[in-house]
Amino acid sequence: MLDPDAAPAPDHAFETVLGFGPFTLDPARKVLLEGGRAVRLGGRALDLLIALVERAGDVVSHDDLFARVWPRTVVEESSLRVHMSSLRKALGDGTDGRRYIASLPGRGYSFVMNVTAAPAGSAPAEAARWAPQSPAAAVAVSPPLLPTRLTGIVGRERELAALSAKLDRSRLVTLVSPGGMGKTTVALALAAEAAERHAGGACFVDLAPLDDAALVPQALATAIGITAPEPCPWTALEEALAPRDLLIVLDNCEHLATAAAALAERVLRIAPRVRILATSREPLEAETEAVYRLDALAVPPDAPGFTVEEALAFPAMRLFVERATASANDFQLSPANLAAAMRICRHLDGMPLAIELAAARVGSLGIHALADRLDDVFRLLRRGRRTVLPRHQTLQALLDWSHDLLDGDARTVLHRLSVFRSSFDLRAAAEVAGGDGLSPQRVIACVLDLVSRSLVVLEPGGAARYRLLFVARLYASERLAEDGDAHAVARRHALSLRDALARANTELRDSGTTLAAWRSAHATAMPDVRAALDWAHGPGADPVLGAELVVESGRLQLEIGLNDELLPRALHALAALRVQHEQQPDLELRLLTLVCLVGGQCLLEIDVPAEVPAQLEALARRVGSPAQQRMALFALCVNAFGRGDYPTVIARVAGFAALPPDPLDPAHAAATMAAWRFDALGRHYLGEHDAAWQSAVRALEHAGPWRAGTYTQMPPPVSMGILQARIRWLQGFADEALECALGLLRFCEGTHPFALSQAMSLAVIPILLWRGDDEQALACLARLVDHEVIHAQSFWIAWAHSYAKVLATRGHDVDALRERLGATDRRNEMQADMLCTLAPELAGPHVLARAEAGTVGWCAPEVLRVQAVRLNSEPMLQRALALARRQGAHAWALRAATSLAARWQAAGRHEPARALLAETLAGFTEGQACADHRRATALLAACEALS
């Protein structure tokens, strides 16, 4: 039997069908068609439509609609709003500017679209299977409806498969994620697929428009196409659902989570073949609920070298390109804009809604301007599609919705957590977000609540670490500024970070952790270090705390290769500390030590002031403990070595022996090893190769099993192996030297990331170039460039530039490599010395001055030889040869002898030239394939032919 409350249609309604826009309405059969296909619409909503269309252009009052649709039932006005909302959604009211129904507050509703009438036809067969199945059934006036998705789903294949499998195992699955992750999109895509496996298909229940939990059952009744009398709709719902094989999608449950959970539990009890897929920002905590957490779309890592094709393998990039192309017809992803597109997707954490909103601005802003302005994200990404829920039209509205559901403490904690730029643990959260009546225990409880509500994300991995997504952090940061305690929270953040870094440094020194594991565990703190330093050195902040942060973060920054960033920070901290009224000598000593240490490993526009090393030496003597004095000497050695001042290196090494031994200092043995190491390096670069070799052996004897420590950033076998390979080449063992250098490369693979930079720059590439193996040197330079493009250290980039220049002078095309290295081309004394031995035309006059002054010795014979050839000076050639022989540098002796013999041969002195070459070549047992050896052998043959 039909529902006794169903409204009788007027007689004239049976005579015509009514048309408006793409729709055809047959009031007699209660069928609504769109483009010839039946529109699935609930019975009450369809009655409302008929009532409005028949009086198109007129205002139909609420009372008239109640009388027409609920003639013998007393209902609340909220029911009218629910059914009117469903009707508007089915019509697409507001889509592309089309309006069908106008709401006039206090008066009623009016159908505003033009309506045409035509003779009535037959209703389509499509609607027939949704007719009532028995007189006892509740009226089913139209089939369940899934909203039409206007855009495709991008990059969710894995999630859809996993979610489908979970839904097969559990009858209630809640899809949980932060707002904007695409829960509804994924749920609809899955429902469209699952509908084929359910005889009753799938229906969609959107709880977003509801603000009253009592309306949730009525919304379900409307969605499945039945009339359910109020105020107790469950009789009709149970009768309609019990026999059905159906998938119900409960969308946007978070604000009515308790009501949604109660509905789900009741439906599953009364309808054994019904399954429910819910979406929410937090679990419903219903009986038998299974939770699937929807992650963001995968984004490309922050690394260079991606091609367009490789980048498009990441779903976030595909979504961005698809939506950007729709926004700007001429947009095309290319190598020129690839980095900007990847930066946008990474910046937005792969959040689909944010990416769509950003892509929509490509046409108006351009992709590069968009990438540069994302910190202004809430104003920049202001409007989305007008057809979606208001809270999905802007990121601001999206976050407002979630924020308004929080209690006061949770809001405060969320605001304060916004100072973290990367992940944090619960200890840090309690230290930073606590205070002002919030205990550590309460903060932790709030953090866990925020995780359950998807406002804080639990990072994957072993240790429990948490973070805010980018857009949530910006939102909370703005709210923190409104709270008025941003300064106090920033101070607590800096203090917490300082203490955490101090604990990390102790861990590295005292525990058995490997350097790689330590780097991996703590490198993620750098965004917070930067933020805390910016605050500490900002207006009205705390320069002393800033200096402490620089010092405590120094080891971490050195280990991950941020030397170029650390040096300006340390110099700024030093200057700010020195203007404080209260002197901090111990802190100043640590800062000076750090400045000297990192200054010897950078090549920047900013230089370490010349007086800093002397200041460090004096302050260490005045206030430093023996351990601090040893550390200061180590920093002074690094600084002098980096500047190419090798006599000063040897003088600083002598200072180690002058200090009393300290068995209680755990780093004392490492300091002894460091002293021998720098003694070896200084003597080698001064040309004392035999003594250098012995010191290198002593350094390795004192090294023991290597692990990172105060004096050993790199494994000792790396620096000493470099030195030994260079010495073997200089001593005339070219093949052994190359074998040693290449073996060193293999050793470096599993150690420190910058060990490879050292081995390539100071041993492998120069030895190959000295040998004349240009092609292999070019291949190794390409590998070094790849490495430095990733790690971006100015010191080693400068070495790569130098070798590119050498190869260019030898006729090789290195333009592409130089372009990848960038425009910066700074050079220090070490590189100038090296260039003289590889490409004499690149040698400057200051190299000769250094050699003559005894500041550098290892290359002095070759520097003298090059200058002698320029000046056509035989006495200088004789000096070069004599010096090479005194050093035991047979490689330089061979070059000097070849130049001298060539001069003699040109003067007709064939026999002395032959004798000199024969004597020199006799001292070589290997390296016959090297360019120098081949040149000398050819000249010897010419001399023998003429003598």
Does residue 169 sit within a domain? yes
Does residue 151 sit within a domain? no
Mean pLDDT is lowest, of 299-303, 396-400, 474-478, 722-726, for: 396-400
CATH value at residue 177: 3.40.50.300
Residue 38's identity, in one-letter code, is A
pLDDT at 138 over 60: no
Last residue of a domain, one of 624, 647, 678: 624
Distance CA 673, CA 511 (A): 20
814 and 866 share one domain: no
**CA-based nearest residue to 557, from 565, 546, 568:** 565
438 and 513 share one domain: no
β-pairing verdict for 202-206 and 108-111: unpaired
User: Is the Cβ–Cβ distance between 649 and 641 less than 8 Å?
Assistant: yes
- When pLDDT is averaged across residues 81-102 and rounded to a whole number, the result is 78
Q: What pLDDT is stored for residue 149 in this prediction?
A: 62
Other CB atoms within a 10 A radius of the CB of residue 484 amount to 8
Q: Which tens digits make up the pLDDT trace of 321-335?
A: 988 888 787 889 999
Residue 683: helix, strand or coil by DSSP? Answer: helix
CATH value at residue 738: 1.25.40
Mean pLDDT is lowest, of 36-50, 411-425, 436-450, 907-921, for: 36-50
Per the model's pLDDT, the better-predicted residue between 602 and 465 turns out to be 465
Does residue 701 sit within a domain? no
Q: Which long-range contacts (CB under 8 A, 24 or more apart) does 255-261 make?
A: 255/207, 255/211, 255/401, 255/405, 256/207, 256/210, 256/213, 256/216, 257/282, 257/284, 257/285, 258/213, 259/213, 259/214, 259/216, 260/207, 260/216, 260/284, 260/286, 261/285, 261/286, 261/289
Distance CA 555, CA 712 (A): 11
- When pLDDT is averaged across residues 133-138 and rounded to a whole number, the result is 34
Question: Which tokens go with 330?
Answer: 């001429």
DSSP letter for each residue of 285-330: --TT-EEEEPPPPP---S-S---HHHHTTSHHHHHHHHHHHHH-TT
Per the model's pLDDT, the better-predicted residue between 81 and 554 turns out to be 554
- When pLDDT is averaged across residues 131-137 and rounded to a whole number, the result is 34
Q: Give percent of the chain with pLDDT exceeding 90.
A: 50
CATH value at residue 83: 1.10.10.10
235 and 315 share one domain: no
* pLDDT category of residue 453 using cuts at 50, 70 and 90: confident
926 and 822 share one domain: no
* pLDDT category of residue 739 using cuts at 50, 70 and 90: very high
* pLDDT category of residue 856 using cuts at 50, 70 and 90: very high
* pLDDT category of residue 74 using cuts at 50, 70 and 90: low
Per the model's pLDDT, the better-predicted residue between 542 and 384 turns out to be 542
Does residue 711 sit within a domain? no
Does residue 37 sit within a domain? yes
* pLDDT category of residue 786 using cuts at 50, 70 and 90: confident
Place of tokens 């070059």: 895
Q: What pLDDT is stored for residue 2 in this prediction?
A: 31
Instruction: Determine the structural domain holding residue 910 and report its residue range.
Output: 859-946
* pLDDT category of residue 403 using cuts at 50, 70 and 90: confident
Last residue of a domain, one of 361, 394, 427: 394
Strand partners, 290: 173
Q: Which tens digits make up the pLDDT trace of 686-711?
A: 999 999 999 999 998 887 655 555 66
Q: Which tens digits make up the pLDDT trace of 650-666?
A: 999 998 888 887 766 76
Mean pLDDT of the chain: 85
Q: Which tens digits make up the pLDDT trace of 277-292?
A: 999 999 999 999 999 9
Does residue 506 sit within a domain? yes
* pLDDT category of residue 899 using cuts at 50, 70 and 90: very high
479 and 499 share one domain: no
251 and 278 share one domain: yes
Q: Give percent of the chain with pLDDT exceeding 70.
A: 89
- When pLDDT is averaged across residues 791-796 and rounded to a whole number, the result is 80
Q: In what side-by-side order are the strands of the sheet with 101-104? A: 59-60, 108-111, 101-104
Helices in 76-135 by DSSP H: which ranges?
A: 77-91
Q: What pLDDT is stored for residue 492 in this prediction?
A: 96
616 and 500 share one domain: yes
pTM value surpassing 0.85: no
- When pLDDT is averaged across residues 600-605 and rounded to a whole number, the result is 76
460 and 424 share one domain: yes
The tally of domains found in the chain comes to: 7
Backbone angles phi, psi at 419, to 5 degrees: -70, -20
* pLDDT category of residue 215 using cuts at 50, 70 and 90: confident
Based on the number of CB atoms within 10 Å of its own CB, is 286 exposed (0-12), middle (13-18) or buried (19 or more)?
Answer: buried
Does residue 2 sit within a domain? no
Dihedral over alpha carbons 891, 895, 900, 905 (to 10 degrees): 120
798 and 916 share one domain: no
Cα–Cα distance list, 213 to 255, 326, 364, 452 (Å)? 9, 39, 42, 21
613 and 540 share one domain: yes
253 and 191 share one domain: yes
Q: What pLDDT is stored for residue 882 in this prediction?
A: 97
166 and 195 share one domain: yes
pLDDT at 124 over 90: no
* pLDDT category of residue 386 using cuts at 50, 70 and 90: very low
Does residue 28 sit within a domain? yes
* pLDDT category of residue 841 using cuts at 50, 70 and 90: confident
Mean pLDDT is lowest, of 453-457, 477-481, 735-739, 805-809, for: 453-457
Q: What pLDDT is stored for residue 230 in this prediction?
A: 66
Other CB atoms within a 10 A radius of the CB of residue 354 amount to 27
